[in-house]
Structures are given as structure tokens and as C-alpha cells.
Structure 1
Amino acid sequence: MRIDIITVLPDMFEPVLQASILGRAISGGAVDVAVHDLREWTADRHRTTDDYPFGGGPGMVMKPEPVHQALDAMVDLDPQPPFVVVMSPQGRPLDQALVRELAAHPRLVIVCGRYEGFDDRILSRADLEISIGDYVLTGGELPALVLVDSVARLQPGVLGCTESAADESFSDGLLEYPQYTRPAEFEGMRVPDVLLSGDHARIAAWRRRESVRRTAERRPDLIARAHLSPEEAEFARSIVEGSETHERD
């Protein structure tokens, strides 16, 4: 997979792109990430990428010409047509289902905003606008890094364990079950006995139930979209309504 990032702050990306799993994925060739300085496509000596908004108002707006020219250059860089993403608080919320959709594209181009936003004519080049949450940041660089990390980890060979991407929060619409490691007892808190039993069927059933429980307790909004059996749906409903009284193993 190839990812091109267009930004006015390219230096923000290098430390993250070189670190940990993402850094190893890039250095190992599982993902090809290139960061491009939008100012390379400006025409004036001040390398201007923004201007005052027509109609007045606070702040500055990103100019259309540099972004359009940068996107033209992205097309010329690789014969594979890119899927163009603009990071915007007005975009589609990023969730794991969307991450999987994007991870299937062989090539992404991510455009990072700054200032008060984009000249709306820039959005005509976008295949999709994406938001990472209902809050405002100073620019699209941090959201772009979130997107790159979430998409890259789904590429073959990026994660050390092939099951890791499938067996985690949001992979099936639910939050992940509780996890434990050694020691079996710490400050009076014991690991559930079922996890020490060696009975893989019981462990799988416990994990599934705890995943449903945790989602119902912490993110009841996800329950309606999760794929649950009738028994699991009733269990989740009892938790949401406060009537669930079963003890945990």
C-alpha cells in the first residue's frame, strides 16, 4: 500500500513514521508512506497556501491552487489511481469499518487542512472527507497520523500476530474483552479462574460474554449495530437497563 500525505507541516510526521510498529512497517516495505510539503506547489515568493475568506470572517482559508496542483502531481507519481481523502471535522466519522474500507485501497492520498478550513473548490477533488471526532484541532496532521496508523496496521505483515487485527476492540462491533498477564494475583486482585483453566472453549465463551458486557457498560451505542445472538442481545439489554445481576467467573 502507498500513502501520500500533503501538508504544510511535513516535519510533524517524521518522528511518528519512524517509530515502533509503523516505523518497522515502512522500513520493511509493507507500507510506503511519502510526506509532501504543500508549499512546493505555491507560485509566490512567500509560498502562500492561505488567504482571507470572501465575505469576511475570522481566520484564513486554504487556497485551491496549491492543493489542486499537488493532487495533479500525486497522480503523476504513480500509475495506480489514488483514493483522495481530506481530513475535515465535517467528514465521515472514522471507525473500524471505514478503516477496513480504506485499507483495501492500494493507494491513498491524504490532504491535511490548516487555518479555518479549505476553499470549498478543493473538496471537488476529494473522494471522501474524514473526521476523527467531534472536536476541533489546529490542523489535519494529527488526524492524518491516526488514519495512517489505523490503516497501516491492517496491511499484511505489519502486525507480528496475524490474529491481532481481528481479535481486538471494534473488530466485530464490540469492545475487546478484559486482558490479563502474570502474575495471577496482584494486590489482592486475581485473574479470573476460567483463564487459568486451559479449557479453550470455556475461555472463548467467557471472552465473548465479557466483550458483550463491557460494550454494554461502556459503549451502549455500539450494541445496536453489533452482531449478537438473541441470548447475547438479551444479556446486553439487561446490562444497559441495569437489571443484569450475574456474577463474573
Structure 2
Amino acid sequence: MSDSTKQVTEHEVINYLKEHPEFFINNPGLLQQLTIGNPQGDVVSLADRKMLQLQTKNQQLAKQMKQLIANAQRSEGLMDRLFQLLTDLSMNAPKGEFVSALVGFIQKDFASDYFKLYLGDIKLSDDEVCVHYHSAQLKTLFASFNNNDAPLAGRLPAVKLKALFGDESAAQSAIVLPIGAKAAHGLLAFGSKDDQKFHPDHASDVLQKLAQILAVFFDSQAVNDGQQSQS
């Protein structure tokens, strides 16, 4: 078989285009002649397919930008209300009063299927059903906070979800934040039945502020308790 009648294989075409990426720049008219299919069996030109891909990407980017703006506006409003709450309260307030006020703020302003606050230094009351003692089991399960204070978010192991939200919960994803260095004062936990609600990249700035506020409060209480015991 002569070279003039030799069949060019698909593999050779692919290799040639890889080695000559400028081919379609030098031959732009070919782009309008090429057609490709999609999973639905429709055939469109390569240029039209590229345009559809760009439109889809632009729509996705627009949706993400809209969500970012909404989150920023919501966060700003939350921070304003949180500042007002702290203005109304005092770092010298009784522990139960301070925690109850903060719990009320969280329950009102943070939509979540499950919310739990685990504290190591609090007198529990029957009406605070979401506040629990920071047990040895939880300290063991979340021992990673001993080395890393970053929030833990995503589809956590079932044993951790049950320890946080109970055996009967249907939580599929969660975000857990340490209160104080090495979770010295406890844990702040939110859970969702949606396994995509909380993920490793979940924005948690406001939640981290809440955990920091609790940590500062309990640190200040510890200082006050120490000063009173010495007087």
C-alpha cells in the first residue's frame, strides 16, 4: 500500500494534534465543520459545544457569586446581632445566663437539623436540652483537637455522629468546633440530615466567632474564680 492511500489511525490524529496545538489556530475554518455528540445523542458543532460549555460555566459562576454575596450579607447581619447580644450581656454574667442567651441566639439564627453544645464547666438545667457535659468519650473521639483547632466538617464517621447527636439521629454530615485551645472548654456541634450540608470547605467564620466567644467567656470566668479563691 502506497503512502497516498495509507489510512490514518485515530491514535495518530490525537498524537498529531497534541504535538501541534496551534493546528486549529492556523485552520480556524475546520472548527465550524467538526461535529461532536453528547450522551443524549444530539450532534452539534464543536464551536457550539464550546459555547454551551462556557454558558454553563458562566451560569455556575453566577450562582456561586450570588451565594457568596448572600452569605456575606447574612454573616454581616449575624455579626451585628451577635455584637448586640454581647453588648447586652457581660463577661461577668452567671454562666447559665450567658450560655442560655448564646444558645437562644444560635437556635434562632442558625438553621440546622441538630445542634449540641458540650461544655466541661456548666451547671446543666432541664430546659437546656441542647447543652450537655463534655464527656471523656467525646474527648477521645475528637482528640484531633489536641493538635489542630480547625473546625472538623463533612461526613463524619457514624460513631462520632451518634456520640454527638444520639443513636436515633439521622445526621449525615456535621461541623464540630473546639471551644478553647485543645477544646479545653468543650465542643460546638451542628448536624444535618443532608450529607452535603456540611463539607470540609464549609464557610465557618461566624461559627468560629461563636466558639471563640464561649472560650473567652470561660477563660474569664476561670480567672475570676481563681481571684476569688485567693481573696
Q: Same fold (TM over 0.5)?
A: no
TM-score, normalised via structure 2 length: 0.23
Q: Which has the higher helix share?
A: 2
**TM-score normalised to structure 1 length:** 0.22
Give the structure, 1 or 2, with the largest relative contact order (CA under 8 Å, sep 6 or more): 1
